[in-house]
Amino acid sequence: MHGETNKALVLEGDIRLAMLGMVDGNGHPYSWSAIFNGYNKEEMKACPFSGIPDYLEKQPAHTFGIDRAKVTHIWTDDSRDAGKVSNASFIPHIVDKAEDVIGEVDAVIVATDKGYEHVDRCRPFVEAGLPIFVDKPLVDNEQDLKIFSEWVSSGSMILSSSGMRYCKEFMPYRHTTHELGELRSVSITTAKTWERYGIHALESIYPIVGSGFISAVNTGSYERNVVHFKHECGADIVVTATQDMFGGSGLLQLCGTKGHVQTKSEDSYFAFKSQLESFIYYLRTGERPFPFAETTELMKMIIAGIRSRELGGKEVLLADISEC
């Protein structure tokens, strides 16, 4: 673990969490709450995201729970969802408004993946001084990146990541790619949109190649993004985000001067639990699991991919995207 440290809000003892928000196509309130609290198998069968009960059922009971932290409060955009999540994941309190959890919990999780909404969703909790975990991507536009950067610079405890940062199948190559020689070609795939799921692909490769992304060229469309990044390491990095490519999502390929490897993310539970554990570690220690500068660079990559596509495939320099 490394990164900036904020000792002002280190939490001890039991941690009460609020799970906030639920948008189309995203079932994290069900799964993330279950990872903290355990779950009711019968109630979870009603989860509209079939993949969630599938991977939860594969886990031994003793793997549920994280360091005396529990989801104690739930709010969803559609109030009917809150009761379902509460029943499935043992959440005792349902609130009428997201802000109602202020004074009742120690930290909040904003469990939505539409970056343009996150400033408005987070603002009440930043102003209340509550630590926040924000689902990926933190933002999808330059103005909101500036606001989050100001909040973090002012001392707010805000953490955002993709679970793919913690994918165990990719972990060996985050430690070293020495046996591959110098990387020359890196590719990663994801389903769904660039705006909401491009960060899954980007955060898969970022811990492998590190900082130093220079520019983006997106020659695709809204439904079929093909984004070529230049990096200081000299490798060509290509990210593909295709709306309906569910059969080929999470496929990583690394090609170097001495060897190559291809692997695929398979264990969602491990990735999500590791991601949530990193937030609890942050709350317990005040130490970021990774510097906010990484999140800033990743958000610039998301923004550059959008901007390039809108400009018809023009190269966009990350240096031209400001965070302050």
Q: CB–CB of 231/304 below 8 Å? A: no
Tell which residue, 71, 91, 87, 82, has the closest CA to residue 18.
71
pLDDT tens for each residue of 202-236:
999 999 999 999 999 999 999 999 999 999 999 99
Return the ∠ at Cα 149 (arms to 273 and 72), rounded to 5°. 35
Q: What are the chain's domains? A: 7-164+270-289 (3.40.50.720), 169-265+300-320 (3.30.360.10)
- Please give the pLDDT value at position 1: 41
Half-sphere exposure of 59 (CA within 13 A, CB side): 23
d(CA 265, CA 137): 19
User: Which neighbouring-strand residues pair with 161?
Assistant: 135
- Please give the pLDDT value at position 211: 97
pLDDT tens for each residue of 34-45:
999 999 999 999
Residue 61: band (very low, low, confident or very high) from pLDDT cuts 50, 70, 90: very high
Lookup: tokens for 82: 């809150």
Tell me if residue 263 falls in helix, strand or coil.
Answer: strand
- Please give the pLDDT value at position 10: 80
Q: Which residue has the higher pLDDT, 7 or 291?
A: 291
pLDDT tens for each residue of 149-182:
999 999 999 999 999 999 999 999 999 999 999 9
How would you label 222-241 residue by residue, b for 16+ Cβ within 10 Å and e otherwise?
A: eeebbbbbbbeeebebbbbb
What predicted TM-score, i.e. pTM, was given to this entire model? Answer: 0.95
- Please give the pLDDT value at position 324: 72
